[in-house]
A and B are shown apart, each in its own frame.
Chain A
């Protein structure tokens, strides 16, 4: 029987790599059947993953309002500095 620490680590490995070896997948599913806390962890960890991925994608969407969540645009000074550096590279 896996410990909760091992079970949650395997949960992360599964989210990260998309799959587990057959033995590990079986051990994890046995643990999750018997342990409410780890079962909840695995559901909530997947939600956390999804929330951050979607939030990250929305930072590339100009139709989303960003000022309200304190994500500023680039300062005009830095824009000028970048343009100057680009010119020197041409």
Chain B
């Protein structure tokens, strides 16, 4: 494992980063130890928000650090370690959701009739007067968001969250999941219908 010390100096008004390889395991070990102390809570919180499962979230954090050790030579010391680690964590979480997609089930349609009309009270019938702009500092509203995400079957949750984790287009996501686009849209559609309904019932009514 290689190691780096950094020197910054200003050249033509720009920061130039000079990296010196001092090949020392002690330094890498120290850096990673610092990172585990400093960032593992944040990484865990993100993973736990995404999965609602303590054990899964712990494993994802561990996977993230193990991947970080392997990839540390590719880390640009100009960037913030937290951002870099959160990026790795996104990919690890996406991998986890992708594994779950082997046999997706969509189930019966609770929202629409066979002709595609809204089923009675499922139709959005009232405006959300307050909007959501000022709600994100509201602890009770955050609890509702968590609760509604918890209530989603894991595959639906994955379909909804994958796009936040990696910047990929629909066709690429489907190819990786091994499902058809029609199937993916069906799952995503259901996930969003349920989330909207859940937030309305628990917050706006």
Contacts and interface: CB of A to CB of B under 8 A. Distances in A.
B46 interface: yes
Contacts of B36: 79, 82-83, 86
Contacts of A5: 109, 111-112, 116-117
Interface residues of A, number: 49
Contacts of B127: 40, 43
B19 interface: no
A78 B142 contact: no
A60 B115 contact: no
Contacts of B58: 74-75, 78
Interface of A: 3-6, 8-9, 12-13, 16-17, 37-38, 40-41, 43-45, 47-48, 50-56, 58-60, 62, 66, 68-75, 78-79, 81-83, 85-87, 89-90
Interface of B: 1, 25, 28-29, 32-33, 36-37, 40-46, 48-50, 54, 58, 61-62, 65-66, 69-70, 82, 86, 109, 111-112, 115-118, 123-128, 131-132, 135-136, 139, 141-143, 145-146, 149, 160, 163-164, 169-170, 185-186, 188-189, 192-193, 195-196, 199-200
29 contacts: A3-B116, A3-B117, A4-B117, A5-B117, A13-B170, A16-B188, A40-B125, A41-B124, A44-B128, A48-B192, A52-B149, A52-B164, A54-B136, A56-B164, A62-B42, A73-B41, A73-B44, A74-B61, A78-B44, A78-B58, A78-B61, A79-B36, A81-B62, A82-B61, A83-B33, A85-B66, A86-B32, A90-B1, A90-B28
